[in-house]
Chains A and B, each alone.
Chain A
Amino acid sequence: MRRARAALFALLALAAPAAAEPERVVSVNLCTDQLAMLLAAPGQLLSVSHIAHDPLSSAMLEEARAFPANYGRAEEVWLLRPDLVLAGAFTPETTVSMLRRMGVRVERFPLVTRLADVPEALRAVGAALGREAAAAREAAAFEARLAGLKGRRAGADPRAALWHANGWSLGPETLAGDILAAAGLANVAAELGLSAGGRIPLESLAMASPDLVLSGARYPGASEGEALTSHPALRHFRRGAVEDRDWVCGAPAALRAVSAMIEARRSLRGDEVARR
């Protein structure tokens, strides 16, 4: 699996130099936004997705404000006259094929589900942008920081559950699951048989008695789905807040999530020691 993924990235990297270094790049996906902002030469990137301007979702809000937003619609992207469009796994196929029919080069990047794959993602986007040197620098820096965070941790791993709006949780085969694991937290979703993303009913969560229940911040407006995360039954468990924006993309910002979880683990373990 890992090798196949590496081969895929290598293939993308090989495909890239065929075209001249792109000068007008548009990103239509939150995660390629981040990688492109990190790697692009000044003036190379024209526009980022509108989600990059959303404070709750965007890990690079300040940087993103320097770029006009697009809503990922084929027509508006085409009007920007790009010579490269960066798309993600969730970009609608209709948009991608429409742009390709109109002669625009579109590179689609797969979902990153492991921290260890972030350097490859950086290199793939770097190759598409013709910024291999910058990508190599960022990838090396990421690997060094990740290795620094992943030391041995004392004691048994506390059991944490990611529990977002509508009871949505994330298992070990997701980036969020990998972030928990990297921070030395056992994932309750895995105990309940969840490998990817899925719902955990409130009852099942309560029966699992996690040491820590982690939920994201609420968006403006209101929703029943988010209201569920403040169900009074959960007051019996220790709660933690997560910054959603650091958890969604396989990008260097994910390391902030790892640090935050290491901090949460430390305070949990500290409590345990104090109780003895």
Chain B
Amino acid sequence: MSRVAAFGLGAALVALLLASLLVGPAEAGPFASLRAFLFGGEGPLTLVMREIRLPRALLGAMVGASLGLSGAALQGYLRNPLAEPGLVGVSGGAALGAVISLQTGFALAFPLALPAAALAGALCAVLLILLLAGARGGALTLILAGVAISALAAALVSLVLNLSPNPFAASEIVFWMMGSLADRSFAHVAVAAPFMALGVALLLPLRRGLDALTLGEDAAASLGVRLARLRTMLVLGVASLVGAATAVAGAVGFVGLVAPHLVRPLVGSRPGALLPAAALAGAALTLAADVAVRIVAPERDLKLGVMMALVGAPFFLHLVWRQRGAGA
């Protein structure tokens, strides 16, 4: 990525973080808000800025970066531009894992039980998708397998929440399937951060391997890429990132699809260089969507996934159209 592009992305991210801090129902001017945020002081505005808006903004960036990075990694490994954690059912699997652990009480068993369960759900979905559509399967097989896994995961999430003894659980199907960052706290940041760090640590070293893989598996192997190891790290890394993101914010779709495509022109056709760029773009995109839901329908808790799908689905259709043109 050129230095200018990197600077541009970074500046956009900072601006969106700032916007995320300044949008909310507590009607205070931007200067008063920032003063309360930076210098504190008595009064509820400091509390609102530091304990309600800051974790939301941070979590938005973290969730977006995780999904963007996962999407770029999946697209690079499968050499398929339609791969995305939401579309291929990984987010759905993570949501199922999270919901089961919450309703059975396993989520309280030990401190990181909730994201661990979401990771396990995501892992099952990634393994299933690789088994069904693998690196050699075409785009169509991948999407069909993804549709089936997503549908099954969504149905099971609904089933678990409908069977819950909790009267509020069933109405939260939409949270788990669409995702939201409303009223998240630093507790959620702490829950998500460790597995997100693990996912980044697993995926970023794969840059060279993913680049080599563009030449084909045999060529990559002859260049010294250990394919089995690459696949294991990729699967675990994607599951960690998507599991952690979904455990705290629900399944947010399309970030992993749109973010890599937005920055691909900036980095050329090297999937390795795409990874960090897609993470930055994913963070910016998710923050933008989260600011938008608060401006469009401040009173309604419009779900993040709705906003992302409004942008992402037409984009997806465009990609499908292009694939058709390419005769894939």
Contact = CB atoms under 8 A, between A and B. Distances in A.
Contacts of A223: 164, 166, 168-169, 172
Contacts, number: 76
B225 to A, nearest CB: 42
B23 to A, nearest CB: 10
A232 B187 contact: yes
Interface in B16-43: 24-26, 28
A225 B172 contact: yes
B48 A232 contact: no
A232 B26 contact: no
Contact of B103 (A207, A221, A233): A221
A206 B172 contact: no
Given A231-B185, A233-B47, A203 B172 contact: no
A236 interface: yes
Contact of B26 (A165, A204, A221, A231): A204
A204 B185 contact: no
Contact of A203 (B48, B103, B107, B164): B48
Interface in B74-103: 102-103
B117 to A, nearest CB: 12
Nearest to A168: B168
Nearest to A57: B167
Given A207-B44, A225-B172, A233 B164 contact: no
Given A231-B183, A232-B185, A233-B51, A226 B166 contact: yes
Given A207-B45, A228-B183, A232-B187, A165 B25 contact: no
A197 to B, nearest CB: 14
A221 B160 CA distance: 10
A209 B186 CA distance: 20
Contacts of B103: 221-222
Interface in A194-220: 199, 201-204, 206-209, 219-220
A203 B21 CA distance: 12
Given A206-B48, A222-B107, A225-B171, A233 B185 contact: yes
B195 interface: no
A14 B285 CA distance: 65
A207 B175 contact: no
Nearest to B169: A223
A150 B158 CA distance: 47
Nearest to A202: B183
Contacts of B227: none
Contacts of B220: none
Given A204-B26, A231-B183, A209 B164 contact: no
Interface in B166-189: 166-169, 171-172, 175, 183, 185-187
A75 interface: no
A204 B28 CA distance: 11
Interface residues of A, number: 25
A219 B48 contact: no
B166 A221 contact: yes
A224 interface: yes
Given A203-B25, A225-B171, A219 B44 contact: no
A273 B299 CA distance: 38
Nearest to B50: A233
A165 B167 CA distance: 10
B172 to A, nearest CB: 5
Nearest to A56: B167
Contacts of A208: 44
A68 to B, nearest CB: 20
A166 interface: yes
Contacts of A222: 102-103, 105, 107, 164, 166, 169
A245 to B, nearest CB: 13
A233 B52 contact: yes
Given A201-B25, A206-B26, A222-B103, A232 B168 contact: no
A89 B187 CA distance: 40
B268 interface: no
Given A203-B26, A232-B51, A221 B165 contact: yes
A62 to B, nearest CB: 21
B44 to A, nearest CB: 5
B102 A232 contact: no
B169 A221 contact: yes
Contacts of B44: 206-209
Contacts of A233: 47-48, 51-52, 185
Nearest to A220: B165
Contact of B165 (A201, A203, A204, A219): A219
Contacts of A199: 299, 301
A223 B173 CA distance: 10
3 nearest interchain CB pairs? A221-B166, A223-B168, A221-B164
Given A202-B183, A204-B26, A228-B183, 4 more contacts: A201-B24, A203-B52, A207-B28, A222-B166
Interface of A: 165-167, 199, 201-204, 206-209, 219-226, 228, 231-233, 236
